[in-house]
Amino acid sequence: MIVDADLLIHSAAQVVTCVADAPKRGAAMQDVGLISDGAVAVKDGRILAVGPTESIRERYSAGQTINASGQIVCPGFVDPHTHVVYAGDRIGEFEQRIRGATYLEIMAAGGGIVSTMRATRQASVEELVEATLPRLAQMLRLGTTTAEVKTGYGLDLVSELKMLEAIAALDLAQPIDLVPTFLPAHAVPPEFNGRSAAYVDWVVNEMIPAAADWYRNSHFAKDSELSRRPFFNDIFCEQNAFDLDQSRRVLEAGIAHGLPAKIHADEFTSLGGVGLAVELGAASVDHLDATTPADAARLAASGVVGIVLPAVNFNLGSHEFANARGLIDAGAAIALSTDINPGSAPCPSQPLVMAIATRYQRLLPAEALNAVTINAAFGVGLAEHIGSLAPGKQADLLVINSSDYRQLAYQFGGNLVSAVVKNGRLLSL
Ligand code: NIG
Ligand code: FE
């Protein structure tokens, strides 16, 4: 019997499924689940079947078909760490860095995150949405179909809630599914200068409870099972930001209010954030540039996903990168992300991140592809629904204009994405 599907993509030179029921680690990161001459059948926004074209065509027919001959089909990319909602830009700081200032020096002098905070506090929800839509459109054209998005440029209750409203409005206004993360502890705001302990009290006692209320009433919590999104709580654990004890207080307060933890750790300085992430069962620990071998072993022995962000190093003109090769070899589950933000990484492109990671961190193309799909999906708590091509999963997939998946990391500077299917619908880009 032939089953009716909505969409049949067939004759792909390669279908790469990236299937895994736990975050990929070790040798599994080199397995992309490759099917030659492959096909995917889609119905009601979900994947019905994946397999060789011949066997899929024997069992399924569809009103809409895509002949992907000479191309590959892969899962839509998941970008698991972004600060894509913000007002203004930091082009001046870009020039300051070219002239020799460092990111931490600019931050200590009152620029950096706090300068984007000033612009973001002045913007309305509508202005934030308007400013962010073109960035999300670019990410979509580059293959991102789900993105985590952090607050952290408001740094007071009203402005942080305004950012959450903007994230919710953006989720409904365009195709990329957004996963909200609360990050009021991104920097100490100027009104708390020299009083970071008082700011942490405020975050713990006022802001996190208010954000948890906001989430309960938002569509992210209320939607049907397939479209429900988690709500994470994050902190920047770093010199001149928040120390380890403060990070523990903030993340534990979030957990007490039902917000799973994420943490920015070891971006410049190793303060023990990896151990905290492991102890608290965080969804991810992000950056990992300054991670010690002992912490790498701790991460490898845990279920926490390590998210590395090499577009930051590239953007800061650094020649040093997180030791992602060593982390994978130690057995850690690694994901890759753009970290798109106006300061450390104005980068919308997961393929560019793959290009950097393969060259400077010695990931194989297969490892980089798993790191932007299934492992990234685990990093945002959504691997049950997205990140791989398997029956029952949300039909988020890409057609890539090449017959070899390795081209995704091998080429850079262009865009090989020729079609994006989101929730089973072929988008016009
Ligand atoms: O992940 N490190 C902290 N947060 C961002 C930078 C944000 C900014 O510079 O505006 C990051 O790199
Ligand atoms: Fe970040």
Please report, for the domain that includes residue 35, its CATH number: 2.30.40.10
Give the pLDDT band of residue 108 (cuts 50, 70, 90).
Answer: confident
Closest ligand to Cα 80: 2
Entry pTM: 0.98
Tokens found for residue 389: 């091509």
Residues 6+ apart with CB under 8 A from 1: none
Mean confidence (pLDDT) of the chain: 97
Ligand 1: atom nearest CA of 345 is 12
Nearest CA to ligand 1 atom 1: 339
Nearest CA to ligand 1 atom 9: 343
Whether residues 32 and 86 fall in one domain: no
Whether residues 362 and 407 fall in one domain: no
Whether residues 131 and 237 fall in one domain: yes
Whether residues 370 and 342 fall in one domain: yes
With a 6 A CB cut-off, is 116 part of the ligand 1 pocket? Answer: yes
* Mean pLDDT, residues 183-192: 97
Whether residues 222 and 335 fall in one domain: yes
* Residue 428 scores a pLDDT above 80: yes
Whether residues 26 and 122 fall in one domain: no
What pLDDT digit, counting tens, does each position of 2-12 carry?
999 999 999 99
With a 6 A CB cut-off, is 262 part of the ligand 1 pocket? Answer: no
- Amino acid making up residue 324: A
Please tell me the distance from the alpha carbon of residue 336 to that of residue 342, in angstroms, as a whole number.
Answer: 18
Ligand 1: atom nearest CA of 86 is 10
pLDDT score for 142: 98
* Structural domain count, the chain: 2
287 Cα: distance to centroid of ligand 2 (angstroms): 8
Tokens found for residue 16: 């790469």
Please tell me the distance from the alpha carbon of residue 381 to that of residue 238, in angstroms, as a whole number.
Answer: 25
With a 6 A CB cut-off, is 111 part of the ligand 1 pocket? Answer: no
| Ligand 1 mutation pick, 135, 163, 238, 264, max ligand atoms within 8 A of CB | 264
pLDDT score for 228: 87
With a 6 A CB cut-off, is 152 part of the ligand 1 pocket? Answer: no
Please tell me the distance from the alpha carbon of residue 20 to that of residue 261, in angstroms, as a whole number.
Answer: 23
Please tell me the distance from the alpha carbon of residue 388 to that of residue 169, in angstroms, as a whole number.
Answer: 27
Tokens found for residue 62: 């569809």
pLDDT score for 272: 98
With a 6 A CB cut-off, is 341 part of the ligand 1 pocket? Answer: yes
What pLDDT digit, counting tens, does each position of 317-342 carry?
999 999 999 999 999 999 999 999 99
- Residue 255 CB coordination number (10 Å): 16
- Positive/negative CA dihedral, 345, 348, 332, 303: positive
Ligand 1: atom nearest CA of 339 is 1
Whether residues 63 and 141 fall in one domain: no
Nearest CA to ligand 1 atom 6: 344
Nearest CA to ligand 1 atom 3: 236
What pLDDT digit, counting tens, does each position of 12-54 carry?
999 999 999 999 999 999 999 999 999 999 999 999 999 999 9
Q: What is the percent of the chain with per-residue pLDDT over 70, rounded to a whole number?
A: 99
Please tell me the distance from the alpha carbon of residue 404 to that of residue 416, in angstroms, as a whole number.
Answer: 11
Tokens found for residue 277: 């992430």
State the CATH number of the domain containing residue 157. 3.20.20.140
Whether residues 284 and 369 fall in one domain: yes
With a 6 A CB cut-off, is 310 part of the ligand 1 pocket? Answer: no
Q: Which residue has the tokens 């460092």?
A: 102
Whether residues 30 and 104 fall in one domain: no
Whether residues 111 and 203 fall in one domain: yes
Please tell me the distance from the alpha carbon of residue 232 to that of residue 234, in angstroms, as a whole number.
Answer: 7
407 Cα: distance to centroid of ligand 1 (angstroms): 29
Whether residues 326 and 196 fall in one domain: yes
* Residue 204 scores a pLDDT above 70: yes
Whether residues 195 and 237 fall in one domain: yes
- Residue 125 CB coordination number (10 Å): 17
Domain coverage including residue 16: 3-76+388-426
pLDDT score for 306: 98
Please tell me the distance from the alpha carbon of residue 255 to that of residue 66, in angstroms, as a whole number.
Answer: 45
CA-CA-CA-CA torsion for 214, 182, 185, 152, nearest 10 degrees?
Answer: -100
